[in-house]
Structure 1
Amino acid sequence: MGFKGRDIEVIPSAGNYLVAACDSCSAVGSKEFDIVKVPADVAGRFTTRVALLEVITVGAVPQLITAAIGNEPEPTGAQILQGVYDELAAFSLKNIPVAISTEKNFPTRQTSLGVTVVGCCQNSLRVATSLPGDLLYCMGLPKVGNEIEGPGDPEIVNNSQLQKLLQTAAIHDIIPVGSKGILGEAGLLSANILRDFILESEASIDIEKSAGPSTCLIFTAAAPIDCSVFNSVPCTKLGRIV
């Protein structure tokens, strides 16, 4: 069971929901034919991040992760896995089981991997919960490729800020932004509840730009949000649901 505008699959199970999300990454690493040159562990971190955000933002708790690495076990595979484990630790999930596969038959000249996260939601899914009149915000800035200053980039959303959102009663939908850009995700969010949205912000944020590995997210709120509680990450009011 999929949800329009959400990159997840959901299966009802014994009164709960199993939620799965995946992400792939190619040509990002330190191999000969990689286009974006970064250490392999960075590719592992950001690919893991995308799948985790998709699962966590709908209210599910990750239970299992798989890492399908299209490269040799050493050194690239080990470096990617270090990034996977580092990102899990950043999300306080360092003890989660990880199923791993690497390429052991052929040499490779370009970095590639796929990450799947499976979570469990024991309550109602946080999907299509927005209401007419809700305010629409963006947290973080859309960045892609070499624009990202590593996992600690202060302009991209992190798990600590996400957890504050999840614990705020006024917050309704939370959606990670990827290649569709802020405008694309906002359109899907409003379409999911058979509504529309209007932009009321003159902020300089580029709403059509790809956010790469979910460097920002959009969320709706029933009341104005004090963005200062989210520390230094940029937080912009975009408009409202109508």
Structure 2
Amino acid sequence: MIVIKQINFRIPMEMDSQIEELSEKFGLSRSEIIRQALTLYFKIIGDLDKLTNIRELSKEEIQITQENIRDVHFINLDSFNISIVISNSSSGGIGPKIHDQVSVDGEVVGSIIARTALIKMLSISAEPTTVLLNFSNEMEETGRNIIQGVNTECKKIGINNVVVGHSEENIKTCQTGVSITAIGLLETNQLIQPEIKKGDKVFCIGHPSVGEDILNMKLPQIEDIKLLQKNKSIKKIIPVGHPGIKKEINNHLSNTELTIQWKNTDIDLNLSAGPTSAVIAITKPKLKQKQIEKRSRIPITEIGKVK
């Protein structure tokens, strides 16, 4: 049983306006906004203190920059070589509601959407610490089932802090809608990854699929990404979303003169990979497919090489 204690404190007027804005935006009370903000703060500072002494921080010393890499956002605390990493995902029309286009249990929806957001973060070697969840449906029973699926994925990497924000309790809904945000930490120098060069190989892990097809496919799991990260011959891991494999790689190489020589395979390079139903691995030239298969439980296909 959680014991609630009332406290009073003073805050700047600007912060008070921000709390009010968030309260109106998400339909939460001011107290709930403050409670969730403190929950996130304590979690982030707790992990931050493992890497630097929080008592040494001062407002004047902190230098902050921000950047996006694909759809992952970084808030870089440059003075301390720490980045707060934010990734997200959403789902609509998939679930147990009467007008959902893909009919599936809410727990499955939660599991799939959680692994999508977490894989984005794990693929860049960040450490997820907190997950935030919002629904466009009622908490009972749709929300509860989705939370179960999210918790299943979070427990795989030791995340116990799942913050549930807004649910729709005023309007009866006929389709499932959910959004998820993952927050984590990364030592900023880990953003510097090995340079991609001519001759590097390109592998597809999993198989691009979308809609009902994903229910019958072996999807890349959190465990698969963690195992791939341990292979020093893998230079880059790129989760594939709705743009498809070809666009994802072309976007990644857009600032270089490199291109891909594609192999003739049964992989559809243009098909949406939905909720990360496929992951790209760019590797050193000498790495063989069998060496990757030892660390994966899902289909792997060599689809090209860098030229």
- Separation of aligned partners in 2, 1:38 and 1:160: 23
| 1:142-199 deviation per Cα after TM superposition (whole angstroms, max 9, x unaligned) | 111111236xx4x32122221121011111111100101111111112225x132223
Q: TM-score, normalised by structure 2?
A: 0.72
User: Which of these residues, 240, 247, 261, is aligned with residue 199 of structure 1?
Assistant: 261
The 4+ residue runs of structure 1 with deviation greater than 4 A are: none
| Change in CA separation of 1:7 and 1:166 when aligned onto 2, cut-off 3 Å | same
Bigger relative contact order, structure 1 or 2 (CA pairs below 8 A, ≥6 apart)? 1
Aligned partners of 1:53 and 1:113: how far apart in 2?
Answer: 18
**Is contact 1:57–1:126 with CA below 8 Å preserved after alignment?**
no
Partner Cα separation in structure 2 for residue 241 and residue 127 of structure 1: 20
- Asked if 1:188 corresponds to 2:251, the answer is yes
Task: Go from structure 1 to structure 2 and tell me whether the alpha carbon gap of 1:175 and 1:70 turns closer, same or farther (over 3 Å shift).
Answer: same
Structure-2 separation of matches of 1:128 and 1:200: 23
CA distance in 2, matches of 1:200, 1:184: 13
Given the alignment of the two structures, is residue 87 of structure 1 paired with residue 149 of structure 2, yes or no? no
* Secondary structure of 2:87's aligned partner: strand
Residues 36-57 of structure 1, C-alpha deviations (whole Å, 9 max, x = no match):
1111111111111111111111
The 5-angstrom pairing of residues 77-116 of structure 1 reads 77-89=143-155, 91-116=156-181
Deviation at 1:231, TM superposition (A): 4.1
Unaligned runs of 5+ in 1: none
SS of the residue corresponding to residue 191 of structure 1 reads: coil
The CA distance in 1 between the partners of 2:239 and 2:278, in whole Å, is 6
SS in 1 for 2:197: coil
Query: Could you tell me which residue of structure 2 aligns to residue 147 of structure 1?
Result: 213
CA distance in 2, matches of 1:179, 1:32: 25
Aligned letter for 1:131?
A: I
Distance in 1 between residues matched to 2:164 and 2:81, nearest whole Å: 26
| Residue matched to 2:274 | 212
**Whole-Å separation in 2 of the counterparts to 1:167 and 1:81:** 30
- The residue type paired with residue 306 of structure 2 is I
5+ residue gaps, structure 2, are: 1-65
Tell me the percent identity. 28
Relative distance call for 1:127 and 1:117 in structure 2 (3 A) is farther
**Does 2:232 align with 1:166?**
no
Q: Paired residue for 2:73?
A: 9
Are the aligned partners of 1:44 and 1:81 in contact in 2 as well (CA < 8 Å)? yes
Cα distance in 1, alignment partners of residues 182 and 246 from structure 2: 26
- The more displaced of 52-61 and 155-164 is 155-164
Deviation of 1:128 after TM superposition, in Å, equals 6.1
Q: How far has the Cα of 1:93 moved from its partner?
A: 2.7
Q: What SS is found at the alignment partner of 2:215?
A: coil
Q: Please say if residues 178 and 213 of structure 1, whose CA atoms lie closer than 8 Å, have aligned partners that are also in contact.
A: yes
- 1:240 counterpart letter in structure 2: K
8 Å contact from structure 1 (residues 17, 121) kept in 2: yes
- Secondary structure (helix, strand or coil) at the match of 2:253 reads helix
Higher strand proportion: 1
Match of 1:228 in 2: 293
The CA deviation string for residues 76-108 of structure 1, in whole angstroms up to 9 with x for no partner, is: 11111111111213x323423434321222221
Structure number having the greater helix percentage: 2
